[in-house]
Chain A
Amino acid sequence: MHKEFLMGNAAIARGAIAAGLNLVCGYPGTPSTEVLETAAKANDGSLYVEWSVNEKAALELGAGAAYCGARSMVTMKQVGLNVASDPLMSLAYIGVKGGMVILVADDPGPISSQTEQDTRTFAAYSKLPCFDPTSVQEAYDMISEAFAYSERYHTPVLFRPTTRICHGYASVTVKDTEEYLHNQPEGFVRDPSKWVIFPRLSYQAHISIEARNAALSQVFSEYPHNELRPASETGCRKGIATQGISYTYAMEALEGKPAPAVLKIATPFPFPEQLAVEFLQNLDEVLCIEELDPVIERELIYVCGKYHLNVTVRGKLTHDVRNAGENTCASAAHDIAEFMGWALPESAKADAAPALPVRPPVLCAGCPHRASFYAVKQAMKGKKSVFCGDIGCYTLGNAMPLDMVDTCLCMGAGVNITQGIGKIEPDTNCFAFVGDSTFFASAITGAVNAVYNQANMTLVILDNSTTAMTGHQPHPGTGRTMMGEIVEKVSIEAVLRGVGVKTVETVNPLDLQAAIDCVKRVSAESGVKAIIFKSPCAVLIKPEKPAVIDPEKCTQCGRCIKSLGCPGIVRKDGKAAIEQALCTGCGLCAQVCPFHAISAGGEG
C-alpha cells in the first residue's frame, strides 16, 4: 500500500487494474472520460483498451470479453447508457462469466450534459446491482468489490460516480503492483443454452434475477460501505439518509454538532432493506439528501409502508430538498439546519458587488467550425433554411453572432431531425451539422435513412480530425487507436458514398469563398448531399503568426467582430485589435474584412 494524489476517475481505473482488469472500452463523455485514458496510460501491455465507436458497441464488446471469463469494464457518461441500453437490458438476463463493471458517470447540474437522468434509477429498471461511491478513496476500494460481486453473481454491475467524485482529487491509499490480482480468462465455452437469448430462457432468467436481487438486498445490508451511524445523543429521533458526494456535504454540515442518525447508501440497488429498517425503527423523521432522483427517499417510504413504521420521510418529493440540480456544501448545510431546527447558516453577503464580467464558453480563436458555420450562413442568406446541430464543440455555434444551431437533441439526432422538418416543410433548405466523431458514433444510420427515404437535405460534416470536446480522443477517422497502433483511417467520404450519397464535396472552411461557393452549389442539388468541412482542431496544430490589422485601412466598421465573434479580435480604444496570445492566424477575419485591412499571419 502507498499513497497517491489521484483524480477520482484515475482512482477508478487504477482500482480496476489492481482487480485484474483484462479489457476496458467505452466512448468519451464528461465526466467519465479520464477513466479509460488513465487505464491506457497505465497499461503495461497486459490490458486491452479501446475507444469504441459508441457506447452500444463498447458494451457489447465488454460483454463478449466477460463471456470468456475476462474482467471487463465499459465506461460512459449517463446519456451514453441510453445508447447502450439495448444490449444492457438483454445482458442483464444472459449474465456474464468474468466480472463486468459498467461505469456510468452521472452529471448533476447538469454541468455538461443534456439530461439529469439518474443511473441508480436505470439500475432498478434493468435489475442490475449498482455501486455509488461517496469519495475518491471509496471509489478506489469499491471498484474491486464491484468486480467480485459481478463474478460471484454472474451479472454485470453498474458503478455510478457523479462529477464531483469523477473529477475530485484526493490523496488515496492504493495497492502496490505486487498486490494486484491477475485474472487469466478461461476463454469462450460454447453453450447455446446459456449465451443465446430466447423467450423461454428469459422467463427462467427473470425468476432467478428476482431471487438474486432479494438475496443481494440482504447481503448489501451487511456491506461495509453501506453504513448506519447512530445519533450522537440518545433520544434524538431524527435521521439523515444520503449517498455519493452529498454524504460528505452532510458530514461537513454535522461537524461539531449533536448529530442525528446517518444512513449512507452505497448500493442503491438492490436496496439494503434490513439496514434501512434498523435505521428507521428508532426514528420519527428522516431527511433524504441525494443526487439526482429521490431513489433513497422512495425506498424508505416503501420500507416504512412494508414494515408499518410511522416515520415521516422528507426530501425531494416533499420539497424539503431541491428536486433538480447539484447539491452543494451550502445546500446540504441549509437543508439539514432547517430539518434539525438549527439556526440557518448565514450566507456571505454580497454587499453591492460590482457587476461581474460574464465568461461564457465560446468556440476557440481559429476554430474551423466558426468558418464552416459562417460559410453556410453566408451561402444561405435570404433562403428559408433550418440548421440542425448536434453534440460537440460545435454546439457552441449557437452563440451570437453566428447563431447557427436551431436544434440540438442528442448524439446523431440532427441528421434525422432535419429529415422530419423537411417532410413537413418541403420548401425549407434542411441542413444537419455533425462532427467527425459523432458521425461515426451515431449519424451513419441517419445518413442511410435519408438516402433510403428520399430525404432532401444537406449533411455537413465538421471534420476536425479529433473528438475535441472531451479532450481530443482518437476515433475511426484518425487512424490511431488506444493501443498505440497506427491503422488505416475510415474515410467519411467513402462511407457516405458507400451508403448512396452521390454528391460528397470536401472543402477547407478557412478558404472562405471556396466554402461559400461549395455550399451554394451542393445545397442546390436535390436529394441527400454532403459537404465535408475538413480542417484540424485549432488546439492541436501549431498556430501561425497572428493576423495584423493595418490601421490605415481599418475604418472601424466592426464587421470582423460582429460577424465572427472570434475571441482573437478585441476592441481596444474603440478599434479592432488582434489579441496576440489567442490569434492562431487562421485568416478568416482577413477574408471577411471588406477593406482588406487585415492580413493573415503566415507561418509562425
Chain B
Amino acid sequence: MQNNILICGVGGQGIVLTSKLIAAAAMAKDIPVMSAETIGMAQKGGSVFSFLRLGENLHCPMFPEKSADILIAFEPAEAVRMLPYLKETGRIVLNTHPIMPVTAALSGSDYTGTEMIAYLQKHVPEISMLDADAACRELGSPKVLNMIMLGAAVRQNVLPFTIEEIEEIMRRTVKPQFVEMNCRALRYEA
C-alpha cells in the first residue's frame, strides 16, 4: 500500500511544516516515508510544493504525473498548477482563499481565484473546499492555516492516520501554549 500526497501553496503558508507533520506521523507508525520540496529562493512569495510518499518499496520522493492520491492545496491557482499530478480518482482539499502574486500590483493582474475554483470543480469530481483563511480568523490565529488544512485532509480517509494520531504528533512539536489552538484547528469543520 502506497500513498502519494502532494501539498502545494505559496511561500509562508506552512506547507513544509505540514509535510513534516505527516512524515512524523508515518514514522510513528513505522511506515517508510520520503519527501521532496521547494527550498531556498523560490520560497520568497513563490509557488511551494511538497511531494510525500508513504509505504513500502519506495524508489524516489517525487512521483510522476497522475499519481497523487490527494492534493492538499493551500491556494486555488497553485492547485491548478499541480493538478496534472493528481490521479484520475484522486481528491483535492482546497483552501479557496486566493493569494495575489507579489508582482500583481506592477503587472496589473486581476487574479481573484474564482476561475481557478471553477476549473477545479469542472475537472475534479472529489473536491472538498473551505475558506481556511476565514477559518483562521474565526479561530483567532493566522498561524493555524496548515492545521486546518491538515485536519480537512485527514477527514478524507485517504491518509493512513486518524486525527488523534496527528494530534499526538502535533503535541510533541508545538509549544504547550499553542496545543489547544492547534487541536481546535485540526478539528475545525466549516
Q: Which residues of A contact B (CB under 8 A)?
A: 3-5, 30-31, 111-112, 135-136, 164, 167-171, 245, 248-249, 251-252, 255, 328-330, 333, 345-348, 350-351, 353-354, 356-362, 364, 400-401, 469-471, 561-562, 565, 567, 569-571, 576, 581-582
Contacts and interface: CB of A to CB of B under 8 A. Distances in A.
A562 B108 CA distance: 11
B19 to A, nearest CB: 8
Contact of B103 (A168, A353, A562, A565): A565
Contact of B80 (A3, A330, A353): A353
B40 A112 contact: yes
Contacts of B41: 30, 112, 361, 469
Given A170-B33, A171-B27, A356-B77, A329 B103 contact: no
A15 to B, nearest CB: 17
Given A248-B60, A361-B41, A561 B105 contact: yes
Contacts of A170: 32-35, 58, 61
Given A167-B36, A328-B64, A361-B42, 18 more contacts: A3-B27, A111-B40, A164-B36, A169-B36, A170-B34, A248-B59, A249-B62, A255-B59, A345-B64, A346-B66, A348-B85, A351-B123, A359-B45, A359-B46, A470-B40, A570-B105, A576-B105, A582-B102
Nearest to A251: B59
Interface in B11-39: 20, 23-24, 26-27, 30, 32-37, 39
B46 A361 contact: yes
A245 B60 CA distance: 7
Contacts of A168: 34-36, 60-61
Contacts of A354: 80, 115-116, 119
B106 A249 contact: no
B62 A348 contact: no
A570 B83 contact: no
Contact of A347 (B58, B65, B116): B65
A164 B36 CA distance: 7
A581 B119 CA distance: 29
7 closest residue pairs by CB, A with B: A567-B102, A248-B60, A348-B84, A329-B64, A248-B59, A169-B35, A357-B101
Contacts of B80: 353-354, 356
A252 B62 CA distance: 10
Contacts of A360: 46, 103
Contact of B77 (A111, A255, A346, A357): A357
Contacts of B65: 330, 347-348
Contacts of A570: 100, 104-105
Contacts of A252: 59-60, 63-64
Nearest to B42: A361
A76 to B, nearest CB: 16
B35 to A, nearest CB: 4
12 contacts: A167-B37, A169-B37, A170-B35, A350-B84, A356-B80, A356-B81, A361-B41, A470-B40, A471-B40, A561-B105, A569-B105, A571-B105
B63 A353 contact: no
Interface in B82-108: 83-86, 100-106, 108
Greatest chain A CB density within 10 A among B26, B58, B108, B115 is at: B58
Contact of B104 (A112, A357, A361): A357
User: Is the contact region of chain A dominated by helix, strand, or loop, or is it mixed?
Assistant: loop
B128 interface: no
B177 interface: no
A401 B106 CA distance: 8
B157 interface: no
A210 B38 CA distance: 42
Nearest to A164: B36
Contact of A164 (B61, B77, B85, B109): B61
A561 B106 contact: yes
Contacts of A245: 60
Nearest to B11: A359
B3 interface: no
Contacts of B42: 111, 361
A113 to B, nearest CB: 11
Contacts of A255: 59
A361 B48 CA distance: 11
Nearest to A570: B105
Contact of A357 (B23, B33, B84, B111): B111
Nearest to B62: A329
B44 interface: yes
Contacts of B26: 171
Given A252-B60, A252-B64, A362-B44, A171 B103 contact: no
Contact of B61 (A112, A169, A576): A169
B24 A400 contact: no
B24 A5 contact: yes
B122 to A, nearest CB: 9
B32 A171 contact: yes
Interface string B56-81: 00111111111000000000010011
Contacts of A5: 20, 23-24, 27, 33
A333 B24 contact: no
Given A168-B36, A354-B119, A569-B105, A359 B10 contact: yes
Nearest to A346: B66
A289 B115 CA distance: 40
A75 to B, nearest CB: 16
Given A164-B62, A251-B59, A329-B63, A359 B34 contact: no
B103 A362 contact: yes
Contacts of B44: 361-362, 364
Nearest to A365: B102
Given A5-B24, A167-B37, A354-B80, A565 B106 contact: yes
Contacts of B10: 359
A488 B9 CA distance: 42
A560 to B, nearest CB: 9
Nearest to A255: B59
Contact of B83 (A111, A167, A346, A348): A348
